[in-house]
A = this chain, B = another copy of it.
Amino acid sequence: MRQAGRYLSEYREVRKNTGTFLDLCYSPDQAAEVTLQPINRFGFDAAIIFSDILVVPDALGQQVSFKEGIGPVLTPIANSGDIKELRFDGLRDFLEPVYSALKIVRAELPIDTALIGFAGAPWTIATYMVEGGTSREFAKTKTWAFSEPDQFSQLIEILISAITDHLIAQVEAGADALQIFDSWAGMLPDTAFEKWSLDPISRIVAGVKCKCPNVPIIVFPRLAGHRYLKVAAINGVSAVSLDQTISLNWVRETLQPGTIVQGNLDPIFLLAGGDAMKAEAERILNILSKKPFVFNLGHGVLPPTPPDHVADLREFVSSWLRDNR
């Protein structure tokens, strides 16, 4: 999950002086600085590069911006003519600032702190590209995908190529591990899930592994429920991130025997802090920490979260693991 953000005063300071949100993503020194802020403050075991999943459509030539209080706004694409206007050439040049930021962070990070690169999955990125922003129903994207699958798959194919390339470039720039976020995977019924979430991710993982055989790849198929099993079974996937709604006993019994899992504290507990937070963290640790497990949040840190709560949680988890190993 994104570690830097508005809950940190040092982030707000950098953000204030660096234009728009995307300007920050494309300013290597500043993106590196905010990536390192939570590591410096809390000493996590891994850093995730400060960027956004929507740099990919931006690099493909779609108009992307971020409006305060609204979220991402894109000029929606609606037909195969719009798809044809996406330009795949020059993707690496466009995204060079992201790779520069990774190089800076890797050089400054402690040697035993991992650096994670990431991208959105094709389905999730496509929803933003077609809806023109966030959505509740995903009516335009799903209608297109379900009614004209051949045309919609042209968009997915472009995204598979672009995302694969973007992930490989991140490894070449110093990322030790990769994470693929399919935030809206769970919104697809079974057959569509396999076609538009599972299959594109499998192909991206295969493409990345071909060039970078040793990089661990974590997939986050948010709200996928039972279908987490299929994602974990993708050849080349090292771990899955758990959203905050999945049943942990099911994870322990069904998913964890074959897969490393990562998650899943509801960020609301981090906002609440105190005993409620610690009790929930302990419940997660009790259920999942007997097998390979990475403690993490189930979703990003909420802006009003007091940073002290994050420090408390980090300390609580570390000492619990010391006492229970």
Of the 9-residue stretches A79-87, A112-120, A136-144, which lies at the interface with chain B?
A136-144
User: Across the interface, which residues of B come within 8 angstroms of A186, CB to CB?
Assistant: 223, 245
Number of this chain's copies in the complex = 2
* In the complex, A20 has a CB within 8 A of chain B: no
User: Across the interface, which residues of B come within 8 angstroms of A271, CB to CB?
Assistant: 139, 143
**Which chain B residue has the least Cβ–Cβ distance from A283?**
B191
* In the complex, A182 has a CB within 8 A of chain B: no
| Cα distance, A187 to B247, chains bound together (Å) | 11
Contacts A190-B247, A247-B190; A146 near B227 (Cβ below 8 A):
no
Q: Pick the most buried of A147, A189, A274, A304: most chain B CB atoms within 10 A of its CB.
A: A189
* In the complex, A1 has a CB within 8 A of chain B: no
* Shortest distance from the beta carbon of A79 to any chain B beta carbon, whole Å: 16
* In the complex, A169 has a CB within 8 A of chain B: no
Size class of the contact patch on chain A: 35 or more
* Shortest distance from the beta carbon of A154 to any chain B beta carbon, whole Å: 17
| Cα distance, A272 to B143, chains bound together (Å) | 6
Task: Tell me if B226 and A250 are in contact (CB < 8 A).
Answer: yes
**Which chain B residue has the least Cβ–Cβ distance from A287?**
B190
User: Across the interface, which residues of B come within 8 angstroms of A158, CB to CB?
Assistant: none
Contacts A142-B268, A245-B188, A266-B142; A223 near B226 (Cβ below 8 A):
no
User: Across the interface, which residues of B come within 8 angstroms of A269, CB to CB?
Assistant: 146
Task: Tell me if B137 and A248 are in contact (CB < 8 A).
Answer: no
User: Across the interface, which residues of B come within 8 angstroms of A280, CB to CB?
Assistant: 146, 189, 191
Task: Tell me if B189 and A266 are in contact (CB < 8 A).
Answer: yes
Q: Pick the most buried of A146, A250, A280, A302: most chain B CB atoms within 10 A of its CB.
A: A146
* In the complex, A276 has a CB within 8 A of chain B: yes
**Contacts A137-B268, A226-B250 given; 16 further ones with Cβ under 8 A?**
A137-B302, A139-B268, A143-B268, A143-B272, A146-B268, A146-B269, A146-B276, A147-B272, A147-B276, A188-B245, A189-B245, A189-B264, A189-B280, A191-B280, A225-B247, A225-B250
Nearest first, the 9 A-B pairs at minimum CB distance are A225-B225, A142-B268, A226-B247, A147-B272, A226-B250, A146-B276, A146-B272, A186-B245, A143-B272
13 A–B contact pairs at CB < 8 A?
Answer: A139-B302, A139-B304, A142-B266, A146-B280, A147-B272, A186-B245, A189-B298, A190-B248, A190-B249, A191-B280, A225-B225, A225-B245, A226-B246
Q: Which residues of A contact B (CB under 8 A)?
A: 137-139, 142-143, 146-147, 149, 186-191, 223, 225-227, 244-250, 264, 266, 268-269, 271-272, 274, 276, 280, 283, 298, 302, 304
